[in-house]
């Protein structure tokens, strides 16, 4: 097999990713690149939590956690619903939950030296 056999023309490659998709994905990944936000997303991937529970879990001040949640919400990674006076946050959808889970599992393999698998 030669490298030229795998060469696609540029227009074929352009059509595979609709306009704006790469930019949106980049913004989502940028939000996950922060250790605090990634920790919050890990917690929210497991279910709904209010700010009080998240503050206790990550050991940060409430305003800082709220600010991170706001950024995650604006990036489309987190959804919120009201239950009385409480706001309950969760990871938005299966794609986001799987992304967070997979990246942390991949990091675990890297840190522990465990072999990769499919």
Confidence label for 13 from pLDDT (cuts 50, 70 and 90): low
Q: Cα–Cα distance between 71 and 67 in angstroms, integer?
A: 6
How many domains, in total, are found in the chain?
Answer: 1
Look at the chain and count its residues: 118
> Residue 2 falls within a domain, yes or no?
no
> Residue 85 falls within a domain, yes or no?
yes
96 neighbors 38 (Cβ within 8 angstroms): no
Whether this model's pTM surpasses 0.85: no
The parent domain of residue 25 ranges over: 20-112
Confidence label for 7 from pLDDT (cuts 50, 70 and 90): low
- CATH number of the domain at 24, please: 1.10.10.10
List pLDDT tens digits, range 50-87. Answer: 999 999 999 999 999 999 999 999 999 999 999 999 99
List pLDDT tens digits, range 15-64. Answer: 677 778 989 999 999 999 999 999 999 999 999 999 999 999 999 999 99
> Residue 24 falls within a domain, yes or no?
yes
Q: Which structure tokens are listed for 99?
A: 């992304």
Q: Cα–Cα distance between 76 and 74 in angstroms, integer?
A: 5
């Amino acid at each position: 097999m030669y490298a030229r056999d795998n060469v696609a023309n540029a227009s074929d490659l352009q059509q595979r990713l609709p306009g704006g998709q790469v930019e949106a994905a980049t913004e989502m990944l940028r939000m996950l690149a922060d250790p605090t936000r990634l920790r919050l997303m890990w917690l929210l991937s497991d279910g709904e939590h209010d700010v009080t529970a998240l503050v206790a879990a990550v050991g940060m001040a409430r305003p800082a956690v709220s600010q991170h949640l706001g950024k995650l919400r604006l990036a489309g990674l987190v959804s919120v619903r009201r239950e009385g006076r409480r706001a309950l946050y969760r990871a938005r959808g299966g794609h986001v939950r799987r992304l967070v889970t997979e990246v942390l599992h991949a990091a675990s393999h890297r840190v522990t030296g465990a072999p990769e698998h499919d």
